[in-house]
Structure 1
Amino acid sequence: MPTPDNTSWVILAGGQASRMGGNDKGLVTLAGRAMIEHVIDTLRAQTSAITINANRNQDTYRQYGKVFGDHIKNYPGPLGGMHAALHHLDSEWIGFVPCDCPALPHDLVARMSSACDSNTDIAVAHDGEHIQPVVTLVNRRILPKLEQFLENGDRKIILLYRQCNMITVDFSDQPNAFVNLNTPEELEQFGQAL
């Protein structure tokens, strides 16, 4: 069973960030700091087992912790980071959060962990209206399914989840915790509200 002490957490910063003008989203400035710093601050209060999945600017990301890149070329998206993490880390349970979600719940790790039982393959955050497919806690037993899925050329994350024993974890009390900042305009608006 996962607990905050036996899970590893990965910040996914491996994308191309095409909507952010190609700028590395984790490193763009929000309120005077790199966006990933906001994510790390929230996670660090909940767990010490944090690594970063990045395919660009790895030397810059190393100032924040251990970094690893995708094993699969051509940016397969979040699933590429998950695939690499399952090969890179030994933990039975690995959690994932995106680098462009600076207001994550302060009880994310505990709530995600406690929602799982021995049959759970994947726990996915739900904001009350939508699932948040990149805020997830997975059991490493999904790796064969994930590898087959990627070998088939599939990239749509929710299709993989439907092949697994997925549960959703209710965060409807914190619906704004999953704000994604994908464009310079969204970044500016969010920064002004801080």
Structure 2
Amino acid sequence: MVIGRADIAGMVLAGGQGSRMGGLDKGLQPFRGRPLAAVALERLRPQAAPGKLSVSANRHLDRYAALGVPVLGDALPGHPGPLAGILAGLQWCGTPWLLAVPCDTPRFPPDLGARLAEAAMAAGADIAIAAAPEAVPAGLPAPGPAPLRRHPVACLLRAGLQDDLRRYLDGGGRKVLDWMGRHALATAAFDRPGDDPHAFRNANTLDELHRLETDTV
């Protein structure tokens, strides 16, 4: 099994309710002068097949459409979580694999897709997710090698999983790792020398977004 860029469609997940941002549409919040979703799309573009980018969104669809890519609403009603956006992406992609990233993680690695593909190929897996060392608070000494924290919404999935995911969601399932654990699952560790230790920092609140925006590390 070989997975190349031409085999991968990319999707930015921006369909959440933004509850910890006071209900704001997170993907449209500015990050260094541009919407978070636009920043994520730009970072994702060289990692996916040409013309194969989309955004998962459920509000302000006209503003997302102005970003120049297809806008995919959740495949199920009621805001059932990121798996519904992933299902919409799997149904849309038309490629063997879908690379999904959250809109609120603007520093995700520029080689995310390649590293996830590498992990999936090595393990013969249907899904690969990212993992990175836990961040140590500023000013505190590191007690040793930091444990890896998984980031399952930064993932590469085989498109053929869409029917199983639909059944899981129709049955009331909502937990990302619970569903992923039903399949051959690989993890790509982003702990190599030179990897950005803050690549997977995300912004759940406006304060966190401001800190990300002004962080020059």
Query: Which TM-score band applies after superposition, normalised by the shorter structure?
Result: over 0.9
Q: Distance in 1 between matches of 2:180 and 2:157?
A: 10
Q: Percent identity?
A: 36
| Deviation of the 1:67 alpha carbon | 1.1
The structure having more radius of gyration, on CA atoms, is 2
State the match for 2:164 in structure 1.
Answer: 145
Correspondence list, 1:1-194, <5 A: 1-47=2-48, 48=50, 49-64=52-67, 65-117=69-121, 119-128=124-133, 129-172=148-191, 173-194=195-216
| Deviation of the 1:171 alpha carbon | 0.8
Q: Is contact 2:108–2:200 with CA below 8 Å preserved after alignment?
A: yes
Judging changes above 3 Å, is the alpha-carbon distance between structure 1 residues 145 and 68 closer, same or farther for their aligned structure 2 residues?
A: same
Q: Please, which moves more after superposition, 116-125 or 1-10?
A: 116-125
List per-residue Cα deviations over 1:33-80 (Å, max 9, x = no partner): 111122122112333321111111111111211111112001111100
Judging changes above 3 Å, is the alpha-carbon distance between structure 1 residues 98 and 174 closer, same or farther for their aligned structure 2 residues?
A: same
Write out the 4+ residue segments of structure 1 that deviate beyond 6 Å after TM superposition. Answer: none
For structure 1, the residue ranges without an aligned partner over 5 or more in a row are: none
Q: Distance in 1 between matches of 2:87 and 2:37?
A: 21
| Amino acid across the alignment from 1:123 | A
Q: Is contact 1:7–1:92 with CA below 8 Å preserved after alignment?
A: yes
Instruction: Find the residue that maps to 1:10 and give its secondary structure.
Output: strand
| Deviation of the 1:85 alpha carbon | 1.3
Instruction: Find the residue that maps to 2:39 and give its secondary structure.
Output: helix
RMSD value, Cα: 1.5
Instruction: Find the residue that maps to 1:71 and give its secondary structure.
Output: coil
List per-residue Cα deviations over 1:127-155 (Å, max 9, x = no partner): 13111010000012222321221122111
Q: Is contact 2:127–2:184 with CA below 8 Å preserved after alignment?
A: yes
Q: Distance in 2 between matches of 1:15 and 1:160?
A: 19
Q: Distance in 2 between matches of 1:94 and 1:45?
A: 14
List per-residue Cα deviations over 1:108-143 (Å, max 9, x = no partner): 122222222283110001113111010000012222
Instruction: Find the residue that maps to 1:124 and give its secondary structure.
Output: strand
Q: Distance in 1 between matches of 2:72 and 2:197?
A: 30
Q: Distance in 1 between matches of 2:211 and 2:129?
A: 27
List per-residue Cα deviations over 1:152-191 (Å, max 9, x = no partner): 2111111011111000011123331111101011011112
Q: Is contact 2:93–2:159 with CA below 8 Å preserved after alignment?
A: no
Instruction: Find the residue that maps to 1:38 and give its secondary structure.
Output: helix
TM-score when scaled to structure 2? 0.84
Q: Is contact 2:55–2:71 with CA below 8 Å preserved after alignment?
A: yes
Q: Distance in 1 between matches of 2:154 and 2:130?
A: 6
Instruction: Find the residue that maps to 2:198 and give its secondary structure.
Output: helix
Judging changes above 3 Å, is the alpha-carbon distance between structure 1 residues 150 and 8 closer, same or farther for their aligned structure 2 residues?
A: same
Q: Is contact 1:54–1:69 with CA below 8 Å preserved after alignment?
A: yes
